[in-house]
């Protein structure tokens, strides 16, 4: 007799279920953000080539739709002092073509930890713990070097597909010292990690959902399956 929760809600809670005992706070915020929040505060200068990679939606007043949940870090850190452990679930927007693996509206869960000691090994350990929490410990994964302007070192975590090859699961890294400085903190004292996880990708890997577009289609046959 109960109605159904949307699978995006369910998977958000599953991720929080792992991080809550680790003292993470969930932060929410607006979908319209400034270019400072979307880019400048994340070490992506106006002429930085990475800015073009986000396919950002702009409003006529010059603001933007958040291209990633990382855009909320800046406002969250204005009100907080380290140590912090934060999660940022929400809807993101990129002006790109839609197909079974991409949608211009999608959902992410970002994580941010800043203190004086959390390191890359903690990041990889926590992401491994999260994946085991979501899909069990049978999953084979690899970590590889990558590049994001707001993290350094940057990594991506891939999981092995049953049919062979690797599937990119998430991006992460140690918070770039320039970003820490942007929060008014001394990067010689403070460090931490950040990660961004696509919730549609989690549904693909953990539940076998083969088309991201179902999540905004409102089909009862889809929504009704998960609860």
Residues 66-105 that bind another protein (CB under 8 A): 85, 89, 91, 93, 95, 104-105
For residue 30, the minimal CB distance to another protein (Å) is 5
Nearest to 186 by CA among 114, 130, 119, 131: 114
Helix (H) or strand (E) holding 166: strand 166-175
CA distance 199 to 77: 24
Stretch that binds another protein, among 34-42, 67-75, 110-118 (CB under 8 A): 110-118
- Are the CB atoms for 50 and 149 separated by under 8 Å? yes
Size of the site for another protein (CB under 8 A): 89
For residue 142, the minimal CB distance to another protein (Å) is 7
Residues 50-76, buried b or exposed e (16+ Cβ, 10 A)? Answer: ebeebebbeeeeebbbbbbbbbbbbbb
CA distance 200 to 218: 15
* Contacts of another protein in 111-170 (CB under 8 A): 113, 117-122, 124-126, 128-129, 134, 142-147, 149, 152-155
Contact code string over 12-41 relative to another protein, x by CB under 8 A: -xx-xx--xxxxxxxxx-xxx---------
Q: Does 49 bind another protein (CB under 8 A)?
A: yes
CA distance 131 to 18: 10
Nearer to another protein, 41 or 154 (CB): 154
For residue 6, the minimal CB distance to another protein (Å) is 4
* Contacts of another protein in 197-216 (CB under 8 A): 203, 206-210, 214-216
Nearer to another protein, 36 or 133 (CB): 133
Residue 195 class from Cβ within 10 Å (0-12 exposed, 13-18 middle, 19+ buried)?
buried
Which of 131, 159, 170, 174 contacts another protein by CB under 8 A?
174
């Amino acid at each position: 007799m109960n109605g159904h929760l949307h699978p995006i809600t369910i998977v958000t809670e599953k991720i929080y279920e792992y991080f809550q005992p680790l003292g993470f706070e969930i932060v929410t915020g607006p979908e319209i953000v400034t270019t400072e929040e979307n880019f400048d505060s994340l070490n992506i200068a106006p002429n930085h080539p990475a800015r073009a990679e986000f396919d950002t939606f702009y409003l006529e007043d010059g603001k933007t739709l958040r291209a990633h949940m990382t855009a909320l870090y800046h406002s969250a850190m204005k009100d907080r002092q380290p140590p912090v452990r934060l999660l940022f679930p929400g809807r993101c927007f990129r002006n790109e073509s839609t197909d079974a693996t991409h949608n211009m509206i999608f959902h992410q869960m970002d994580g941010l930890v800043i203190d004086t000691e959390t390191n890359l090994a903690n990041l990889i350990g926590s992401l491994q713990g999260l994946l085991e929490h979501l899909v069990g410990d049978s999953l084979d994964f690899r970590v590889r070097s990558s590049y994001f302007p707001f993290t350094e070192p940057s990594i991506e975590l891939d999981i092995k597909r049953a049919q062979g090859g690797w599937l990119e699961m998430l991006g992460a890294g140690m918070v770039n010292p320039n970003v820490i400085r942007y929060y008014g903190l001394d990067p010689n004292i403070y460090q931490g990690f950040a990660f961004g996880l696509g919730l549609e990708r989690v549904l693909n890997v953990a539940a076998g959902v083969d088309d991201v577009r179902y999540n905004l289609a409102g089909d009862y046959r889809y929504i009704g399956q998960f609860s």
